[in-house]
Amino acid sequence: MFEDFETERIDVGEASIFVRFGGVGPPVVLLHGHPRTSATWHRVAPLLTGRGFTVVCPDLRGYGRSIGPAPTADHSAHSKRSVADDVVAVMRSLGHNRFALAGHDRGGPVALRLALDHPEVVSRVALIDCLPVSEHLSRITAEFATKWWHWFFFAQPEIPERIINADPDGWYRGDPKTMGEENYGEWRAATRNPDVVRAMLEDYRAGLTIDRRHEEEDHAAGKRIRCPALILWSLKDDLEDLYGDPVSIWRRWTVDVRGHGIDAGHHVAEEAPDALASSLSAFFTGSE
């Protein structure tokens, strides 16, 4: 995986972030979701470097090989604001003060937070298979609670750790053929690490508490993403089934937005890398 990419561990203060980077050209950051690592981009990243981008793929705080602080009572140590600050620090360490950004799944709310908190550093943002956490929570239905029950299970204290760590291979399911053998191996090692499992659960606990509050405060204050935004979603996933056109929801958070679906399941970077890389490349160059 990631031939011709470099790896580095960057100390950002509270956390130590593992990052892959390669290519020459305008910088692009790719943020993974749950329960993946930066390796989920192993098919997309080389396509983007081949199209003239510098590509940076970090493991989010506490995920994969990134080491974060101990959980805090208010979950702020694993808030999207803290994770977004990590990304800014990593990019500055690599010499990039402004960059394009893509976030998938849980990486999407991180990308939203980064664009709201640090508008001066984000040139363009792509948000993939996600909505703001507060938008999900304001639209809870029986269908959502049934399909996305894990959000509320993960938020419980201590119980999820005990259950998941008792049988991580049974809890987290993946197919090495679909994912790629090396990506699968890295992901499996992460899901067997109790510290990683705890951090991933804290991500969700933060989502239902401090992240929701931050989003609602910003929305009430009229803050919006000021740079161009691209909304992508997997046509074989359930985002559109639950909410209709995701772009219509993201219009509440953006001033310049467009979007479309991609024929893939939820892990689009692994299942449809060519289509995803083409959409991202066209958007990041302004040729879409």
105 is catalytic: yes
**Residues recorded for the chain:** 288
Q: How far apart are the first and last CA of the chain?
A: 28
Pick the closest to residue 100 from 118, 83, 77, 123 (CA basis). Answer: 123
For residue 278, with 0-12 CB atoms within 10 Å meaning exposed, 13-18 middle and 19 or more buried, which class applies?
A: middle
Q: What are the φ and ψ backbone dihedral angles of 233, each rounded to 5 degrees?
A: -145, 155
- CA distances (Å), 145 to each of 36, 139, 152, 250, 260, in order? 23, 10, 8, 21, 25
266 is catalytic: yes
**Residue type, position 204, single letter:** Y
Q: Which of 34, 118, 219, 266 is catalytic?
A: 266
Q: Which of 105, 203, 211, 237 is catalytic?
A: 105
Distance CA 41, CA 46 (A): 9
Structure tokens at 230: 């691209």
What residue has token string 């892959």? Answer: 20
Structure tokens at 100: 């394009």
- CA distances (Å), 3 to each of 21, 23, 24, 43, 273, in order? 10, 11, 14, 11, 16
Longest CA pairwise span in the chain (Å): 49
Strands 229-234 and 54-58: unpaired
For residue 25, with 0-12 CB atoms within 10 Å meaning exposed, 13-18 middle and 19 or more buried, which class applies?
A: middle
User: Which residues carry out catalysis?
Assistant: 105, 266
